[in-house]
Structure 1
């Protein structure tokens, strides 16, 4: 589980990260990274639409992504905002495959 201080819940920040952040994608994930200018901790948010699957499948994907993103918090710069968007193919991947996809996408957007 992500600590409360690292959760992204503000819709305006979500929107600005998606519109102005650096983006990298794969067949199952798209990540948006917006470097922050404040001194707060890095925050992570997730977007898992109904195209991914039923509510059970979407929640499973979110739980896996939350767990995997927690491992990458130390690599995120300062007060960065990371938005992870799951595509429909994410539902069919194992946790290890999802972790590899997240790592690959993050390595492309990190400075």
Structure 2
């Protein structure tokens, strides 16, 4: 399970990540990442699973799967970051392996965008 101190609970944190952060979409999920430069707090992660995904049982199953997957990837997030993972309707029928692969691709994209551009070898 995701540690309690790493869970996003406040609406303004969700809004900040979604409105001001970078976005990476996949068929089963969309990830939004915002990094607060003014804090050295551990990363916070929130999940959005709407009724479009399915009934309460399915939504809760998807949330549990995503929380478990994020727990193993939490160390990759920079300190002060806010990550919101929004499940799309195909997440309801996706296997855990597919969710994990798409989460990895989305996180890779978001984290790569944060890296400064590499200088050319010839100094240009």
TM-score by structure 2 length? Answer: 0.88
Aligned to 2:95: 94
Say which SS state the counterpart of residue 99 (structure 1) adopts: helix
Please report how far the alpha carbon of residue 36 of structure 1 lies from its aligned counterpart in structure 2 after TM superposition: 1.8
Aligned to 2:55: 54
Superposition misfits of 4+ residues, deviation over 3 angstroms: none
CA distance in 2, matches of 1:24, 1:44: 15
List runs of 5+ in structure 2 lacking aligned partners: 115-124
Please give the root-mean-square deviation of Cα atoms over the aligned residues, in Å.
0.6
Aligned to 2:80: 79
TM-score by structure 1 length? Answer: 0.98
Please report how far the alpha carbon of residue 39 of structure 1 lies from its aligned counterpart in structure 2 after TM superposition: 1.1
Structure with larger Rg: 2
Say which SS state the counterpart of residue 101 (structure 1) adopts: helix
Say which SS state the counterpart of residue 2 (structure 1) adopts: coil
CA distance in 2, matches of 1:42, 1:26: 22
CA distance in 1, matches of 2:75, 2:35: 14
Structure with the larger helix share: 1
